[in-house]
């Protein structure tokens, strides 16, 4: 078996490892439990072990699927040719898969140990995800799966390149900001800040790419 095939198999098994852990810990998880949020009790909800099992399986499938999709993008995306560098796609798929696996384990542990979802920790981990995406966004080549996929970026390699150079810097800095403020700001400000920041990280590169498109059109 080729080395890369072994690596792919190991990562797919890692993606499904939360399901195995859930079965091992099954008897120690209550039949019903409450998902508790630190800031707002209105979102607290009674869950069941069967619901947790379904969520764990779905998230495991999503983790494995995303990794394999990024590994085989050349086979499914007509924008990605044999000459397209695929290093960034592979790395992005790997790290996002690890993030999803960690989130899957957290869901199980929160049910098993009656953990309260801490806003600061959630903001920290979300910031890490944004940093990871920003770190590789600058090197993404035009494709239909990942990145700022707008008609004018997909049809203009220069627009794609400039847009993703800006987006990569913004996302990386935005993620660092979230990590820093996760334990500095009062917790009631973290969720609004996260929402505002994400809107900015999506809207600013989109507007920037549209301005490039309009300038070229004129």
Digit-coded pLDDT (tens) for 178-206 = 999 888 888 778 888 889 999 999 999 99
d(CA 151, CA 156): 9
Q: Give pTM, 2 decimals.
A: 0.81
pLDDT tens-digit series, residues 87-119: 888 888 898 999 999 989 988 888 888 777 778
Can you tell me the distance from the alpha carbon of 218 to that of 76, in angstroms, rounded to the nearest whole number? 35
Q: Please state, in angstroms and rounded to a whole number, the distance separating the CA atoms of residues 196 and 175.
A: 13
Q: Using alpha carbons only, how large is the chain's radius of gyration in Å?
A: 20
Torsion, CA 111, CA 116, CA 121, CA 127, rounded to 10: 70
């Amino acid at each position: 078996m080729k080395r890369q095939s072994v690596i792919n198999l190991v990562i797919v098994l890692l993606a499904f490892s939360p399901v195995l852990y859930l079965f091992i810990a099954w008897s120690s998880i209550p039949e019903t439990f409450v998902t508790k949020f630190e800031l707002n009790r209105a979102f607290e909800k009674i869950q069941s072990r069967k619901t947790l099992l379904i969520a764990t399986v779905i998230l495991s499938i999503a983790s494995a699927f995303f990794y394999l999709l990024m590994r085989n993008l050349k086979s499914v995306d007509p924008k990605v040719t044999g000459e397209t560098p695929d290093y960034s796609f592979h790395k992005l798929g790997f790290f996002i898969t690890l993030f999803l696996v960690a989130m899957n384990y957290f869901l199980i542990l929160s049910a098993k140990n009656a953990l309260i979802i801490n806003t600061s920790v959630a903001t920290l981990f979300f910031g890490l995800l944004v940093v990871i995406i920003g770190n590789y966004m600058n090197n993404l080549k035009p494709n239909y799966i990942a990145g700022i996929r707008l008609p004018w970026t997909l049809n203009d390699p220069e627009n794609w390149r400039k847009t993703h150079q800006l987006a990569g810097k913004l996302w990386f800095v935005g993620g660092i900001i979230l990590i820093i403020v996760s334990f500095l700001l009062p917790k009631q400000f973290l969720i609004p800040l996260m929402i505002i920041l994400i809107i900015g990280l999506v809207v600013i590169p989109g507007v920037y790419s549209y301005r490039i498109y309009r300038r070229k059109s004129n």
